[in-house]
Amino acid sequence: MERTDLIDRINAIFCEVFDDDSLVITPEMKAGDIEEWDSLSHIRLIVAHEIKFGVKFKTKELKDLKNVGNFIDLLKSKLA
Amino acid sequence: MSHKPKIHSLNSLHEGLVERFVFKVTNEMMQSFVEISGDMSPVHTDVNYAKSRGFDGVVVYGGILVAQVSRMVGMHLPGHDALSRGLNIHYVRPLLVGQQAELEARVEHISEATSSIELKFKITSQGKTLAKGSAGVQILKPDGQ
């Protein structure tokens, strides 16, 4: 999958979870940049990616993430 | 009906695990739901009205079916340490008071990283689907400790 296609699909999941069709993710984006990004929406976000991409994350992998760009890289590594 | 919730940790669950139980909604349960919800819509309270609209009797409140899903989550999958994150339900056919129905739920996805599970469920009666949906549940003690 091309990186731009992957980002489009991830962006669509973010829009759905945060109920905001105008949301545009960037690699530098962090949880603090989205007002609705709390612990519950974080779980929904992770679970939605696991189900839609057919992957599983480990607790440690998520703890090491600093921003959305790290998350995209992690997901891409699981799809490789 | 057992009054002790099952105790599942993330490790004791597996994708594909199925739990089911049979239930019937009584007039007393319908009356209790009126008191809880304040919903006195005639299709749920007036048998003559319900029959005039083509039903064989008063239709069980959708909220009571949701309550049965709550029972599944809090008593069976995963039981004791459940915290419901949300659910989607689609009503397909009406359930009538006194009609036996079965709720079946299946673990569709286990997310170790978030200590949560996704369930798919279906409510059936006499081989026909009455409602179906999905539920997300967090396990508050994922290691069972």
Q: Which domains does chain A have, with CATH numbers?
A: 3-79 (1.10.1200.10)
Determine, for residues A56 and B85 on separate chains, whether the beta-carbon distance falls below 8 Å: no
Tell me the average pLDDT across B57-64.
Answer: 97
User: What is the Cα–Cα distance from A75 to A55, expressed in whole angstroms?
Assistant: 8
- Asked if A47 lies within 8 A of B138 by C-beta distance, the reply is no
Burial of B31 (0-12, 13-18, 19+ CB in 10 A): exposed
pLDDT of residue B9: 85
Report the CATH number at residue B129.
Answer: 3.10.129.10
Q: Which residue of A has its CA nearest to B136?
A: A44
B1 is a domain residue:
no
Q: What are A10-67's pLDDT values in tens digits?
A: 999 999 999 999 999 999 999 999 999 999 999 999 999 999 999 999 999 999 899 9
In a domain, B10, yes or no: no
Tokens of B83: 């915290």
pLDDT reported for residue B131: 98
**Higher confidence at residue B15 or residue B144?**
B15
Choose from A38, A47, A64 for mutation: most chain B CBs within 10 A.
Answer: A47
Give chain B's domain count: 1
Q: Which of A47, A59, A62 sits opposite B136 (nearest CB)?
A: A47
Q: Which two tokens stand for residue B117?
A: 């599970």
The per-residue pLDDT of chain B, averaged, comes to: 95
Cβ distance B116 to A59 less than 8 Å, yes or no, reads: no
Q: Is the reported ipTM for this assembly greater than 0.95?
A: no
Q: Residue B53 corresponds to which amino acid? A: R
Confidence of residue B120 (pLDDT cuts 50, 70, 90): very high
pLDDT value, residue B58 = 96
Query: What would the mean pLDDT of B35-55 be, rounded to a whole number?
Result: 97
Whether pLDDT at B135 is above 70:
yes
A3 band by pLDDT with thresholds 50, 70 and 90: confident
In a domain, B144, yes or no: no
**Whole-model pTM?**
0.89
In a domain, B68, yes or no: yes
Domain span at residue B65 reads: 18-139
- At A14 the three-state DSSP class reads helix
N residues, chain B: 145
Q: Is B111 close to A59, i.e. CB distance below 8 A?
A: no
> Is B53 among the domain residues?
yes
Got the DSSP string for chain B? Answer: ---S--B--TTT--TT-EEEEEEE--HHHHHHHHHHH----HHHH-HHHHHHTT-SSPBPPHHHHHHHHHHHHHHTSSBTTEEEEEEEEEE-S--BTT-EEEEEEEEEEEETTTTEEEEEEEEEETTEEEEEEEEEEEESSTT--
* Res B128 pLDDT > 70: yes
- Residue B7 vs residues B4, B20, B34, B49: alpha-carbon distances, Å: 9, 16, 32, 44
B5 occurs within a structural domain: no
What pLDDT is stored for residue B64 in this prediction?
98
